[in-house]
Chains A and B, each alone.
Chain A
Amino acid sequence: MKKDVTILDYGIGNLLSVSRAIHESGGIANITDDREKIATADYLILPGVGNFSLAIKELRDRGFEESILNHQSKERPLLGICLGMQLFFDSSEEEGLHKGLGIISGSVKSIPTKNQSGFSHKIPHIGWSPLELNLKEDNESKSILNDQHDGQFFYFIHSYQGHVDKAEECIAITKYNDLNITAVIQKNYAIGCQFHPEKSGENGIKFLKSFLSY
Chain B
Amino acid sequence: MRNIRLIARLDIKAPNLVKGIQLEGLRKLGDPNIFAKKYYQEGIDEIYFEDIVASLYERNSLVEIIKRTTENVFVPITVGGGLRNINDISSALRSGADKVSINTAAIKNPEIIKKAAKRFGSQSIVLSIQAKKNTNGWEAYFDNGREHSGIDAVDWASRGEELGAGELLVTSVDKEGMAKGFDSELIKEISSNVSIPVIASGGMGKLDHLSDVIKLGGADAVAMAHVLHYEILTLNEIRDYAFKEGIPIRNI
- A residues neighboring B (CB under 8 Å): 14-17, 20-21, 24, 49-51, 113, 120, 122-124, 126-130, 151, 153, 155, 157-159, 175-177, 196, 198-202, 204-205
- Chain A nearest CB: distance from B192 CB in Å? 10
User: What are the residues of chain B within 8 A of A176 when measuring CB–CB?
Assistant: 1-2
Whether A124 pairs with B196 at a CB distance below 8 angstroms is yes
Contact B123 A158 (CB under 8 A): yes
Contact B2 A199 (CB under 8 A): no
If A50-B121, A124-B122, A128-B250 touch, does A201 touch B40 (CB 8 Å cutoff)?
A: yes
Most chain A beta-carbon contacts within 10 A, residue among B75, B249, B251:
B75
Are A201 and B74 closer than 8 Å at their CB atoms?
yes
- Of A120, A124, A201, which one neighbours B166 at CB under 8 angstroms? A124
CB <8 Å contact, A49 and B76 = no
B250–chain A nearest beta-carbon distance, Å: 4
A-B contact pairs, 27 of them (CB 8 A): A16-B70, A16-B94, A17-B70, A20-B96, A24-B72, A50-B124, A120-B195, A122-B195, A122-B196, A123-B195, A124-B196, A126-B197, A127-B197, A129-B1, A130-B251, A151-B251, A153-B250, A153-B251, A177-B1, A196-B76, A199-B74, A199-B75, A199-B98, A200-B75, A201-B74, A201-B75, A205-B74
Residues of A within 8 A of B190 (CB): none
Min Cβ gap B108→A in Å is: 25
A27 CB to closest chain B CB (Å) equals: 14
Residues of B within 8 A of A (CB): 1-5, 40, 43, 45, 67, 70-72, 74-76, 93-96, 98, 118-124, 166-167, 195-197, 220-221, 249-252
B250 and A122: CB pair below 8 A? no
Q: Which residue of B lies closest to A83 (CB)?
A: B121
Q: Determine if B96 and A17 form an interchain contact, defined as CB atoms under 8 angstroms apart.
A: yes
Nearest CB to that of B218 among chain A residues? A122
Please state if A155 and B72 are interface contacts (CB–CB under 8 Å): no
Give the dominant DSSP class at A's interface.
mixed
Given A113-B195, A124-B167, A128-B250, also A49-B2 (CB < 8 A): no
Chain A hits for B75, CB < 8 A? 155, 199-201
Q: How many Å from the CB of B5 to the closest CB on chain A?
A: 5
Residues of A within 8 A of B120 (CB): 49-50
Further pairs besides A126-B220, A153-B252: 18, Cβ < 8 Å: A14-B98, A17-B98, A49-B124, A122-B220, A123-B196, A124-B123, A124-B197, A126-B123, A126-B221, A127-B4, A127-B221, A128-B45, A159-B122, A177-B2, A199-B76, A199-B98, A201-B40, A201-B43
| C-alpha spacing A158/B72, complex, angstroms | 24
A17 to B45, CA, bound (A): 16
Q: Looking across the interface, which residue of chain B has its beta carbon closest to that of A55?
A: B121
Interface centre among B43, B76, B124, B220 (most CB of A within 10 A): B76
